[in-house]
């Protein structure tokens, strides 16, 4: 009788070990993935200070959101900022956008650019890729909405592609 009990106990222990081992990958997969957001800004050249300020602002906002538990609607997913240097020319800005789109295929969208000429070059790339680019534009001291409301919808749909 005791020999059969040991066998059953060993079998139950082995079964539990296998079950728990099977749950570990599921638990790891259940953790939400980072939500990657691109920032294409002049981090070198004559407009580097403005790019650095944009970067600092984005990092502060992301730190605050992540410290408060991340994105609740995505199970607490954390934001991750992916930076690209737009440099000092439209060609460099366009190249930065092409590079970041190729290297980070799971981006949900982006922001940045700083100069109108950079923004035009970058939006050519992001529009072809179907990635939303949220930008702010100021005219005579007043903010101007440059992206239609559909961009917000595109930002929400983009991760589901």
Question: pLDDT at position 72, please?
Answer: 86
Question: Are both 75 and 9 inside the same structural domain?
Answer: no
pLDDT over threshold 50, residue 50: yes
Question: Are both 22 and 61 inside the same structural domain?
Answer: no
Question: Are both 58 and 87 inside the same structural domain?
Answer: yes
pLDDT over threshold 80, residue 53: yes
Counting the structural domains of the chain, the total is: 2
Q: What is the pTM of this model?
A: 0.68
Whichever domain contains 67, its CATH number is: 3.40.50.2300
pLDDT over threshold 60, residue 95: yes
pLDDT, one tens digit per residue, over 104-142 is: 999 888 888 888 889 889 989 988 888 888 876 656 665
Whole-angstrom Cα distance, residue 45 to residue 25? Answer: 46
**CB 113 within 8 Å of CB 93:** yes
Whole-angstrom Cα distance, residue 149 to residue 77? Answer: 24
Question: Are both 81 and 19 inside the same structural domain?
Answer: no
Whole-angstrom Cα distance, residue 122 to residue 10? Answer: 63
| Domain extent for 18 | 1-31
- The pLDDT > 70 percentage for the chain reads 65
Question: Are both 88 and 27 inside the same structural domain?
Answer: no
Question: Are both 36 and 86 inside the same structural domain?
Answer: yes
Q: Name the token pair of 36.
A: 């990657």
Question: Are both 138 and 109 inside the same structural domain?
Answer: yes
Question: Are both 85 and 113 inside the same structural domain?
Answer: yes
Question: Are both 81 and 126 inside the same structural domain?
Answer: yes
Whole-angstrom Cα distance, residue 38 to residue 33? Answer: 16
pLDDT over threshold 70, residue 8: no
pLDDT over threshold 90, residue 9: no
């Amino acid at each position: 009788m005791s020999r059969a009990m040991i066998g059953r106990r060993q079998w139950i222990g082995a079964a539990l070990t296998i079950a728990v081992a099977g749950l570990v990958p599921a638990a790891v997969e259940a953790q939400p993935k980072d939500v990657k957001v691109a920032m294409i800004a002049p981090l070198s050249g004559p407009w580097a200070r403005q790019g650095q300020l944009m970067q600092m602002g984005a990092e502060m906002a992301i730190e605050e959101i992540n410290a408060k538990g991340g994105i609740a609607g995505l199970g607490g997913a954390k934001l991750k900022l992916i930076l690209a240097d737009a440099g000092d020319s439209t060609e460099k800005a366009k190249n930065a956008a092409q590079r970041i789109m190729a290297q980070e295929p799971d981006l949900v969208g982006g922001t940045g650019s700083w100069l109108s000429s950079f923004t035009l070059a970058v939006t050519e790339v992001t529009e072809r890729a179907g990635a939303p680019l949220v930008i702010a534009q100021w005219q005579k001291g007043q903010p101007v909405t440059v992206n239609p409301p559909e961009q917000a919808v595109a930002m929400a749909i983009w991760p589901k592609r």
